[in-house]
Chain A
Amino acid sequence: MLLTLTATRDPEILPDATDLGYLLVKHPDRVQPFELPWGTATVFYPEASAQRCTAALLLEVDPMKLAEAKGRWDGAQSLNQYVNDRPYAASSLLAAALNRSFRSALRGTSKDRPDLAGIAIPLAVRVPVLRCKGGPEVAVRLFEPLGWQVAATPIPLDETLPEWGDSRYVDLTLTGRVRLADALNHLYVLLPVLDDAKHYWVAPDEIEKLVRAGDGWLSQHPERRLIVRRYLAHSRALTDRALSQLAPDDAEVVDESPEKESGKPKLNALRRTAVLAALASTGAARVLDLGCGPGALVADLLRDKRYTEIVGADVSPVVLDIAARRIRLDRLPDRQRARVKLLQTALTYRDDRLRGYDAAVLMEVVEHVDEPRLPALADAVFGHARPGAVVVTTPNVEYNARYESLPEGGHRHEDHRFEWTRAQFAAWASGITEEYAYRVELSGVGDEDPDLGTPTQLALFIREENR
């Protein structure tokens, strides 16, 4: 990867552009290599005249060494340990190389030209390949407030396949009158921020580095929150601490979620209330939450003493883990702990562990199962597990017309395999009652539209004992 830094003569403040060499403490006529753990950085000057002087930092990454270093490449362009863009695109590796090669210049000190180090000079920076997460405009948003003119030209993904459009890389050129130390610190912080990945584990001492490098420009930067969050690898805790250090006044505003409560309870809260009411009406004490997801309903059930045994079941070990943390499973007192169990299951399989319960809930679950596999789900739930009661909720697709943001024919969630009309849901429910000896009551949850019904439909199945 490559970065060039060009100083242009200014009769007033920079009569000789090669003074750049003094500021960088690198002689324009020498080629200086620096060894780094994953490659070699070389500093040299492709041009050096009183008119223009360009320093180049060329970083050659050894992909094998990098693979062995096992960096963290969250979101980086890494297909496997051998094939990735790290040798080419500017990243935290380049920032590290900057730090290694231009240490005193980054500090803003110069033995030979102390005055020059303190003033803004005409500079141009070019980073020929920079991964710019969020698009070229993010580079503009980050550099413009710092006094740079920004040209970020997208690089095509493959010019022989024009239909594929642009890659996420840009050829970045910054021009402006900026103090050299500031320019280097801008690059040191913002190159990894634009790339949005780090080659090392982000620890709390990273805050120190950020505050030091951001001195004098970061606290007032309009995009400081984005910068800090990305720089600290999206760690919420680190981000909060860094922001409070940078600008104590706006630290409390950390939740950026734009959602505004409109005063009315949200549909998912209404849905849980309705499901709990249906469940309570059955008198069930030992209950299954099938497809429990991150455990919102399990937590509700746990708060209600009438439920003596609660089983949250889901197919995804990842969400079960989230559910376990939500209900603080490993910190529950013994008596509480004995009431709840989380287990991995799949609702298209017969699971003997789910037999013998009073009731089961399938809240917003069936629509995540491919429609042709619903008979298997029915067999597993109604035929095999066979609880005394089953509460099923699912979206009412008719109501989708009320959601303006939803495209025609679109589903409410990208994983929904289908969404049913009221008639379709009723037909499915009636099929269940016939095949498995249950009776059913259908109702709805949420605001009722006279034509379209409620956003969520609910079925309460009760097992018939003597059929």
Chain B
Amino acid sequence: MTTTVDIPELALVVLVGATGSGKSTFAREHFLPTQVLSSDFFRGLVADDENDQSATGDAFEALHYIAAKRLRAGRLTVVDATNVQKHARASLVKLAREHDVLPVAVVLDTPESLCWERTQARPDRLFGREVVRRQTRELRRSISGLAREGFRKVAVLGPEQLSDVELRYAKLFNDRRDLTGPFDIVGDVHGCAEELSQLLVKLGWELVADAAGRPVDAVHPGGRTAVFVGDLVDRGPDSPGVLRLVMGMIERGHALCVAGNHEAKLAKKLHGREVQVRHGLAETLAQLEADPVDGLPAFLDGLVSHYVLDEGRLVVAHAGLKEEYHGRASGRVRAFAMFGDTTGETDEYGLPVRYPWADDYRGRATVVYGHTPTVEPEWVNNTICLDTGCVFGGTLTALRYPERELVSVPALREHYAPAKPPAAPVPAAARAFELKRVTGRRHVETATGTITVQAEHSAAALEVMSRFAVDPRWLRWLPPTMAPAGTSSVEGYLEHPTSALADYASAGVERVICEEKHMGSRAVVLVCKDRDVAARSFVDDGSTGAVYTRTGRPFFEPGRTEELLGGVRAAVERAGLWDSLGCDWLLLDCELLPWSAKAETLIRQYAAVGAAGRAVLPAALDVVEAARSRGLDVGGLGADLRTRLSEVTAFAEAYRRYVGPPGATTLAPFMVLASSAGGYADRDHGWHLEQADALVAADPGLFTPTRRIVADTRSAEDADRVTAWWRELTESGGEGMVVKPYAGLTARAGRGLHQPGLKVRGREYLRIIYGPGYTAEAQLNRLRGRSLGRKRGLALREHALGLEALRPGTPPWRVHELVFAVLACESEPVDPRL
């Protein structure tokens, strides 16, 4: 007959058995080789000899180290050592507890004679029979005490069972990763049965009543599952009614519920244990006496501390849960889940002081919880507390997941007087970001792969970010660098529209938008509806937003920034964007014009080159002409100089176009990157430019429109049309154009992303980049050899980082990590070794 041994999916399995009992064979048959840590193997690793007993200390130290790494990563681990002595097992139980996994003992109760027979058969085992006898004796003595030692499961296998045993893996109770929702997660109900019914109805649930008309179940036509964060009972008017409804929903598979501290206390009381009847328990007991609920003790006992849902993306626990505890099982995990991270102190109201664990939360999973009444639920690092104090006269709140929408109903009345006022929303934390998340060699994960940032680059970025950038909390995003279109072979041109169209066509993009490239400075504008919104969402320093460069630096001093933001805000208001987007802040990607507004110092350097050229070349022409008129053969010198003079004149004309009167700046917006209502990376550029047009219409003085045409990359006719358009733009002084996939930023190329845009710069403009005389065929040919691969790779990496930062709900520390990585990619490396 087959013996079945149930083992939790995540456990530390301790094999216990004398030498020769068959542990290694058992391990080999039932586990992966990498799951098994054998003391013999570790002795071999540290001493080149599996039987070198003098290496035992080091071998176990190494074994424990590896076991700890595995458990920390949540991997089943098997320790193959005799473990017949209590102290050896105790250290393993401790290890399991430290990592909040269940310790399991599998005892191989093999007769001493058989053990000895096997030991003798191995030429490398040199110890005497007495050792085997002693081990067997110790083992027998240990068996009955294993559970007391802390093993949550003990399986004893005799020789008969050992020949036919099956291991069965049991999921932990908290593991409901298989449930993918959608969910309606409901905050602390505390006996407010009436409000609960109203909330469920508002969420679209249909209540099912029993014969007495009491709600005993609810069904959602959209197939949603309710998840209760615990604290169903106490303080409120009708705990039995709440229990009856929730228990009914759970029984029929319509809901889940985690244990709240109030459930735990009620369970203790119902089991006859001594508890203080405080904090509303008395009301519940009285209500239950008048209105008993069937099966209550069993229900309460069955509540688990937390659930891991939606493939690990969602965790629900009554008082929240730090990442190390997700999916783990131990006393302290349960305590944390029910009571939070208590410091052991009490506040002036006699309530326990809790450490704000969510401030430190850096996990990927969304954590939804309750327990601490707050006025307004607020996302903190991808966690949210839904307790809005219904029983104290606040509201009862639910979170729709994955929609992340909050739905609430007001309390009918204050059912219970609060011991202390609910926590008011805290302004954006002044606490600093963590250095270790931005410096050194970093591997930053994005949806399209991991991006490595070298330490040399992050060291350089740190100086810019901390000394010259705006407050990093404003930096929601930084623009990626932009690669040029493939080098053109069209005569006289280095860049040409046909290359950009061909590049996208070969990447599989059919529809593109060609946008006029304004020659100014890239500017990101973060504008808030008012100072309060800014303080709540970003920085509480009296400002209402930020206008920053592609390296995060402010464009202007605070006064002028506010003036500009004021204009933008008025236009947003007039254009109705606050309402149409349903937001109170907006992040805009723009070009700030003219170029001289920010870059006059740079332009003056260009001017100097032009001044030198324009002064020397006529002088040179004069002497060459004088020589020619003397009858000297000056060859092609005169013609050369004339060409160069016309080139340097064209160069001067090129930069002069981008010089405007100081003070008169305009913005050319071309994308709405994000707002308080969400992200717009998945919108097409048609949509983005519509929003931009609305701003231009609202204030044509402040905003400059962006001309554009849409084209099909496969159409020769479109290529001609685009080329004509581009030539018209650039020949009348424009910098050029940017060609983008029409579908928007998230346009994907298989697993990766497309280039978000390719620039096609005008022939004249490029003189500023490649020198006045770059158009000479010889120079053009040399320039055509330039390699674009590095620039394109950089553009894609920065684009991926930026997209990740724009994802709605990304916590500030993560946004900063991503934005910092963009800046690092753009920084010249410095030696970080010191």
Contact = CB atoms under 8 A, between A and B. Distances in A.
B420 to A, nearest CB: 21
A383 interface: yes
A350 B656 contact: no
A349 B616 contact: no
Contacts of A83: 606, 609, 768-772
A349 B637 contact: no
A347 interface: yes
Interface string B657-685: 00100000000000000000000000000
Given A82-B771, A349-B434, A344 B779 contact: no
A327 B604 CA distance: 41
B467 A368 contact: yes
Interface stretch (B135-143, B457-465, B714-722): B457-465
A403 interface: no
A129 B648 CA distance: 15
Contacts of A85: 608-609, 612-613
Interface string A338-364: 000011111111111000000000000
A317 B832 contact: yes
B623 A87 contact: no
A149 interface: no
Contacts of B830: 317-318
Interface stretch (B73-81, B296-304, B370-378, B626-634): B626-634
A345 B435 contact: yes
B652 interface: yes
A83 B624 CA distance: 25
A129 B616 contact: yes
B616 A158 contact: no
Contacts of B622: 46
A376 B430 contact: yes
A88 B430 contact: no
Nearest to A313: B834
Given A324-B834, A346-B466, A370-B471, A48 B630 contact: yes
A99 interface: no
B774 A82 contact: yes
Contact of A377 (B432, B460, B630): B432
A367 interface: no
A253 interface: no
B431 interface: yes
Contact of A77 (B431, B465, B608, B626): B608
B579 interface: no
Contact of A376 (B431, B438, B602, B637): B431
A315 B432 contact: no
Interface string A170-195: 01000000000000000000000000
B831 interface: yes
A98 to B, nearest CB: 16
Q: How large is the interface on B (under 10, 10 to 19, 20 to 34, 35 or more residues)?
A: 35 or more
Interface string A96-116: 000000000000000000000
A372 B626 CA distance: 66
Nearest to A435: B430
A344 B773 contact: no
B433 A349 contact: yes
A54 B439 CA distance: 63
B607 interface: yes
Interface string B614-647: 0111011011111100101111010010000000
A82 B605 contact: no
B124 interface: no
Given A155-B611, A158-B607, A316-B463, A2 B616 contact: yes
A321 interface: yes
Contacts of B271: none
A48 B630 CA distance: 9
A31 interface: yes
Nearest to B436: A352
Interface residues of A, number: 73
A2 B621 CA distance: 10
A167 B463 CA distance: 33
A315 B466 contact: yes
B320 interface: no
A58 B637 contact: yes
Chain B facing A: main interface SS: helix
B626 A46 contact: yes
A29 B632 CA distance: 7
A122 interface: no
A376 B640 CA distance: 61
Nearest to B767: A83
A131 interface: yes
A321 B834 contact: yes
Given A1-B616, A169-B612, A315 B771 contact: no
B834 A128 contact: no
B541 interface: yes
B539 interface: yes
A413 B502 CA distance: 54
B635 to A, nearest CB: 7
A164 B604 contact: yes
Contact of B613 (A88, A164, A370): A88
Interface in A54-102: 54, 56, 58, 60, 63-64, 77, 79-80, 82-85, 87-89
A217 B575 CA distance: 74
Contacts of A158: 607, 610-611, 652, 656
A212 B466 CA distance: 51
B782 interface: yes
A156 B611 contact: yes
Nearest to A128: B619
A379 interface: yes
A167 B612 contact: yes
**Most B-side CB within 10 Å, residue of A129, A320, A349:** A349
Contact of A79 (B459, B472, B541, B605): B605
Given A1-B616, A352-B436, A344 B459 contact: yes
**Most B-side CB within 10 Å, residue of A1, A343, A348:** A348
Interface in B580-617: 602, 604-613, 615-617
A47 B438 CA distance: 68
Interface string A361-394: 0000000101011011111100110000000000
B608 A2 contact: no
A273 to B, nearest CB: 27
B565 to A, nearest CB: 15
B652 A77 contact: no
Given A58-B623, A64-B782, A87-B613, A82 B769 contact: yes
Given A1-B616, A345-B435, A84 B609 contact: yes
A438 interface: no
A5 B632 CA distance: 18
Contacts of A352: 434-436
A164 B830 CA distance: 35
Contacts of A161: 607, 656, 659
A42 interface: yes
Contact of A89 (B432, B612, B624, B770): B612
Contacts of A318: 830
Interface in A27-57: 29-31, 42, 44-48, 54, 56
Contacts of B769: 80, 82-83
Given A29-B632, A164-B607, A317-B463, 8 more contacts: A77-B608, A85-B609, A315-B467, A316-B463, A344-B459, A345-B435, A349-B435, A372-B541
Interface of B: 430-436, 438-439, 459-460, 462-463, 465-467, 471-472, 539, 541, 602, 604-613, 615-617, 619-620, 622-627, 630, 632-635, 637, 640, 648, 652, 656, 659, 768-774, 779, 782, 830-832, 834
9 closest Cβ contacts across the A-B interface? A46-B626, A375-B430, A346-B466, A88-B612, A128-B619, A372-B541, A349-B435, A82-B771, A376-B432
23 contacts: A4-B623, A29-B632, A42-B637, A44-B627, A46-B630, A54-B623, A79-B602, A80-B769, A87-B613, A88-B612, A128-B615, A131-B612, A167-B611, A167-B612, A315-B462, A317-B463, A317-B832, A320-B834, A321-B831, A344-B459, A348-B432, A379-B431, A384-B432
